[in-house]
Amino acid sequence: MKREKVLVTGGAGYIGAHTVVELYAAGYEPVIADNLSNSSEEVLDGIQKITGVKPVFEKIDCTDKASLESLFEKFSDIDHAIHFAAYKAVGESVERPLMYYGNNLVSLINLAGIMMAKGNGSIVFSSSCTVYGQPSPEHLPVDEEAPLKPAQSPYGKTKQMCESILEDCVNTPKSDLNVISLRYFNPIGAHPSAHIGELPRGVPQNLLPFVTQTAAGLRKELHVFGNDYNTPDGSCIRDYIYVCDLAKAHVAAIDRLRDKKVRGTSEYFNLGTGRGLSVLEVLDIFMESNNVKVPFRIAPRRAGDVEQVWADPSKANRELGWVADTPVEEVMRSAWKWEKKIRCV
């Protein structure tokens, strides 16, 4: 049977690379398009070590419509795309909003335009739980019906705008574009082989890379931003989802789009575990699972942090036949194994 191609923009990045591995495992033929602005070609070697296949890779900037069009000419049988390519640092987006609007919106507009002109296409879009802001207590855990709140950063706004742009594309008369927007909660961990994982540039903005870098001695201590929130231990609560589980949800989304009989549809799914963990709980589980110490101190609250948010993933469990079920201890071990590998600890 001929393997179906799936375009993976941003496929050399953290979540993209893990998804490429799962696409191969499911029998698809991923085509990676990445400008390597936040990744490197070494990731392709990591993918090859896991899958035994040298991934198809095109160094392309998705904001350059002509390059993206020539990719579709070269691979004329691509009907499905997973769109990861974007900038993702919340703080940087506050400092450089135009860079974020320019990259995240133009990339999406180019891809959607080409897929619409081509016809019969499907897009899986990387969205984020940031679209919900701080949900009110009656909306916790957050399901897809929870109201979208004004985003706190230009990054968050690009996610809301991209979702709206795709919705408008689907709603044009005679549109045959099918879209699934996946709203990720907090992806963590690395492939169990430690051939691929998260490679933050500079000071990590997310909790777990900061934890692993502190454990490895790269950082003196971890700052827990606030212990006076209205949560059981006072620190913020998030829904941490294993990146390999998250990657499998993309395969489930592509399967669903491929099987669709109706065209011109748009769907949203929350991807999380359904369980909130506080910062202090994450620290404890990490130290316990890996038998390693992480020095930390309580610091003042950080501006813009949401107090608590976790997912109700039941729609994704039901409709995609997918569940994030890797034990969190295993996820913590994968993160530490990866950090030790890249730091040669």
In this structure, the number of other CB atoms found within 10 A of the CB of residue 83 comes to 27
Which residue number places its CB atom closest to ligand NAD?
13
Residue 32 beta carbon to ligand NAD: minimum distance, rounded to whole angstroms: 9
Nearer to ligand NAD, 62 or 169 (CB): 62
Residue 173 beta carbon to ligand NAD: minimum distance, rounded to whole angstroms: 29
Q: Is residue 271 within 8 Å of 246, Cβ to Cβ?
A: yes
Nearest-5° Cα angle at 85, 111 to 106: 50
Catalytic residue flag (residue 184):
no
Chain mean position to CA 67: 24
Nearer to ligand NAD, 63 or 289 (CB): 63
Nearer to ligand NAD, 105 or 292 (CB): 105
Residue 1 beta carbon to ligand NAD: minimum distance, rounded to whole angstroms: 30
β-sheet bridge partners, residue 266: 179
Nearer to ligand NAD, 72 or 184 (CB): 184
Structure tokens at 61: 């900037």
| 3-class DSSP string for 3-55 | CCEEEEECCCCHHHHHHHHHHHHCCCEEEEEECCCCCCCHHHHHHHHHHCCCC
Nearer to ligand NAD, 64 or 176 (CB): 64
According to DSSP, residue 233 is labeled T
- Of these residues, 155, 229, 240, 242, which one is catalytic? 155
Rounded CA separation 112/122 (Å): 9
The binding site for ligand NAD (CB under 6 A) comprises: 9-10, 12-16, 34-39, 61-63, 84-86, 88, 103, 107, 126, 128, 184, 187, 206
What SS3 state is found at 283? helix
Active site residues: 155
